[in-house]
Structure 1
């Protein structure tokens, strides 16, 4: 079974980074954190679960980047509600409806879903806008673009 690492910003619900591995290690997690945030644009805090894979290597990397590590309490999913909601959305809207053919395929699916989630999918908490805001198209013919092989659609005016 593949493990998924994802980070997202809470202010606009933006998925920042996703990656997949079969065998996560502290070194792999530290590389993901470095890939997620440029050193000069790292957030002040990183809220995370208490998975055993987070080790001293990850803590040192966070400190070196100027971030404070905020692990949630053991076993209360309500403390990490945004992450739990994102995981449910990915499962319900994406991977529960697709057959995954390995790590590379899952990585490609998640990258495509993150693009859809950030730029197309509307969110009620954002007044029915996408995390990456877009202009309202008022004139033109409506055209449908299939996303994730037709699992979702993006409607645009041409």
Structure 2
């Protein structure tokens, strides 16, 4: 009865409404009614005070914490925020966390860092002498602190020589779990058998993929830019001595961005005493310390 009165009133106000109703389906009228109902309750449920809104910077912080720590839930993030002096409810923390479709998983960077201490890398580089004879340098480095484990120099690299260098570098007690290398033909069957006997798992990179051994490639670039490109090599013995001096400087003195401006062998901070400068590699580099 009420709906009839509504339509009768509409007809008196707008007699032409019947023409519009002639091209409108009943489902459309019902759809209009539901939209009006939603608008009415949205207006009726509007905020009239209550809880204060969460500041945008706090919401951004919650999102960043949930992304950086995928194993943390709302209670853990809420506890960290309380320690930072942020007063917020746990339900609000859960509201602004990042939603994941799959179970939480660590990132590749975290996974690699947790296994870096058991990974070593090796690569070879060429250094010409004053007589244009080529000498081959063998580099073995650890991924954990980016430190140099071994330098070898020879004019004729063979699989047996490389295998002996790995034995001297890693020993039989502190061998890494994995060794990353390229697919150079110098790594023969003797070398592979030696790795197996020591207990090292051989991990050659894919063909034409030097980026898979990026740490060793980057270190070889540093050796060239900071050492061998500034000297003329006379003999194999001189090059070995030069590389060993650089290894001592690199491991104990040279700072790295990836190590938070620290050296592979951590350097203590000196705050008292006079600053003393000591030349390294004939003055190519210097070490500064307080005495």
TM-score range (shorter-chain normalised) is over 0.9
Matched, 1:135 2:256: no
Pick from 221, 227, 231: which aligns with 1:94? 227
What TM-score do the two structures reach when normalised by structure 2? 0.54
1:36-75 equivalent positions in 2, closer than 5 A: 36-75=169-208
Distance apart, 1:15 and its partner CA: 0.2
1:126 to partner: Cα distance: 0.2
What is the TM-score normalised by the length of structure 1?
A: 0.98
1:9 and 1:132 mapped to 2: Cα distance?
12
> Which one of 108, 131, 145 corresponds to residue 241 of structure 2?
108
CA deviation string 1:105-144 (max 9, x = no partner): 0000000000000000000000000000021111100111
1:17-28 aligned at under 5 Å gives the runs 17-28=150-161
Deviation string 1:18-58 (CA, Å, 9 cap, x unpaired) is: 01000000110010010011212111111001110101101
Q: Which structure shows the bigger proportion of residues in helix conformation? A: 2
* Whole-angstrom distance in 1 between the partners of 2:171 and 2:156: 25
Between structure 1 and structure 2, the one with the greater Rg is 2
User: Which ranges of 4 or more aligned residues in structure 1 deviate by more than 6 Å?
Assistant: none
How much has 1:10 moved relative to structure 2? 0.5
* Alignment correspondent of 1:81: 214
Aligned residues: 158
Structure (1 or 2) with the greater strand fraction: 1
- Of structures 1 and 2, the one with the larger relative CO (CA 8 A, separation 6+) is 1
Structure 2 counterpart SS, 1:2: strand
Unaligned runs of 5+ residues in structure 2 are 1-133
In angstroms, what is the RMSD of aligned CA positions? 0.6
Q: Displacement of 1:77 after TM fit?
A: 1.3
What 5-or-longer segments of structure 1 have no aligned partner? none
How far apart, CA to CA, are the structure 1 residues paired with 2:280 and 2:181? 30
